């Protein structure tokens, strides 16, 4: 296909999307200047801190152009970055998108992508503030999300204390299971999209849960589960200089799934599968009773507790104990 689009054309297209994705500019809007200048200008709320995160989303590494619908790629590239804001307890404010695409993707693919992005932008009240566009033989995405929270209230990875209970939101391993269904081409079950596939394609960052945990001062530490429980819990423990003891029987594996999938596989997905974008957090025992069993339809499950050792032990249903080593997603090990 001939290259008909110039960089200016693409920027203009993004500018129109930005306008469509955001409400009409209001006098009180914190986004003072969006796409179209050298940089975006954002007015911080008085007394707040700004939370900043950036995330790769690369064809062939994080998604497959042949398998993933462009609408899902647009949704997910924003949702997964917002999950990092959720993990600090922050509220999204705006985002910057860097987009590199082949000329063949400037037509329907780009429209689909922008449609998914726009839906996520509206859903999570997070307007597009700026970006950079260029040409590349494969689709490359990088997204910077900007959030806010009251000064000195961010929930960090490093705050877990010995004796704290460990919780996760939702069910773990569903996105990994969804990815496997996608690879097998099982995109739909009896006309409806499979829930695990939906979670893989359209993850929901746990923004309100993260904010609530921060506001109530319930969680001592928090992070999002993007690379798998075994990898991410090891990171949380390393940051907090603690260890953990998990009860295998408590870990919320995917349910309602295909009966042909063995229980041991489900447990493996839950321990090591990536892309769930659930929250992992610790709560002091004396505050555990303040935590509801679920929050806005998402279950909150206690899976173990923080220990003084520097390792993570898992107690199997038969009482045996094993060490849990990081075996989640690592791009340098694939």
Q: Which of residues 67-86 bind a copy of itself (CB under 8 A)?
A: 84-85
Q: Which of 327, 157, 330 is nearest to 237 (CA)?
A: 157
Neighbours of 44 (CB within 10 A): 12
Minimum Å gap between C-beta 319 and a copy of itself is 31
Q: What is the largest CA-CA distance in the chain?
A: 65
Instruction: Determine the Cα–Cα distance for residues 128 and 96; give it in Å rounded to an integer.
Output: 6
Map the footprint of a copy of itself across residues 245-284, applying CB under 8 A. Answer: none
Query: Is residue 109 at the binding interface for a copy of itself, with CB under 8 A as the rule?
Result: no
Q: Identify which range of 100-108, 161-169, 194-202, 282-290 contacts a copy of itself by CB under 8 A.
A: 100-108
Long-range contacts of 259-268 (CB under 8 A, 24+ apart): 261/177, 266/173, 266/177, 267/173, 268/173
Nearer to a copy of itself among residue 158 and residue 217 (C-beta): 158
Site stretch for a copy of itself (CB under 8 A), options 129-137, 193-201, 246-254, 295-303: 129-137
CA angle 177, 82, 155 (to 5 degrees): 105
Q: What are 205's two structure tokens?
A: 């960052």
Q: Does 223 bind a copy of itself (CB under 8 A)?
A: yes
- Pick out residues in 146-185 that bind a copy of itself (CB under 8 A): 146-147, 151-152, 154, 156-158
DSSP, res 217? T
Restricting to residues 297-326, name those near a copy of itself by CB under 8 A.
Answer: 326
- Measured CA angle at 164 (ends 160, 167), to 5 deg: 90
Q: Are strands 298-307 and 165-169 parallel, antiparallel or unpaired?
A: antiparallel
Question: Is residue 53 within the footprint of a copy of itself (CB under 8 A)?
Answer: yes
Contact status: 136 vs a copy of itself (CB under 8 A): yes
Q: Which residue of 71, 224, 275, 305 would you call a contact of a copy of itself, by CB under 8 A?
A: 224
Binding a copy of itself (rule: CB under 8 A), the pick from 20, 61, 162, 325 is 61
Binding status of residue 239 toward a copy of itself by CB under 8 A: yes
Among 111, 115, 140, 327, binds a copy of itself (CB under 8 A): 140
């Amino acid at each position: 296909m001939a290259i008909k689009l110039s960089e200016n054309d693409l920027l203009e297209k993004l500018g129109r999307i930005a306008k469509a994705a955001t409400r009409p500019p209001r006098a009180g809007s914190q986004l003072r200047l969006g796409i179209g200048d050298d940089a975006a200008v954002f007015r911080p709320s008085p007394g707040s801190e700004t939370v900043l995160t950036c995330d790769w989303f690369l064809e062939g590494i994080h998604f497959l152009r042949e398998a993933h619908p462009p609408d899902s790629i647009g949704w997910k590239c924003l949702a997964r970055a917002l999950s990092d804001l959720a993990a600090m307890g922050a509220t999204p404010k705006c985002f910057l998108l860097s987009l590199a695409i082949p000329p063949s993707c400037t037509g329907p693919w780009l429209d689909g992508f922008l449609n998914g992005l726009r839906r996520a932008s509206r859903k999570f009240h997070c307007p597009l503030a700026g970006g950079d566009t260029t040409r590349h033989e494969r689709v490359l995405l990088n997204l910077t999300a900007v959030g806010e929270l009251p000064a000195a209230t961010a929930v960090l990875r490093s705050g877990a204390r010995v004796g704290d209970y460990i919780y996760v939101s939702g069910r773990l391993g569903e996105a990994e299971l969804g990815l496997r269904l996608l690879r097998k081409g099982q995109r739909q079950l009896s006309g409806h999209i499979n829930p695990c596939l939906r979670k893989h394609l359209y993850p929901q960052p746990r923004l309100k849960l993260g904010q609530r945990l921060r506001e109530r001062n319930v969680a001592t530490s928090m992070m999002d589960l993007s690379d798998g429980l075994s990898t991410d819990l090891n990171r949380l423990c390393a940051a907090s200089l603690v260890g953990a003891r998990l009860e295998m029987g408590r870990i919320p594996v995917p349910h309602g799934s295909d009966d042909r999938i063995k229980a041991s596989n489900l447990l493996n997905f839950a321990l090591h599968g990536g892309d769930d974008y659930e929250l992992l957090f610790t709560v002091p025992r004396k505050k555990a009773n303040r935590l509801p069993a679920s929050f806005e339809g998402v279950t909150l499950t206690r899976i173990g507790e923080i220990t003084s050792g520097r390792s993570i032990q898992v107690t199997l249903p038969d009482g045996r104990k094993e060490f849990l080593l990081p075996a989640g997603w690592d791009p340098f090990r694939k």
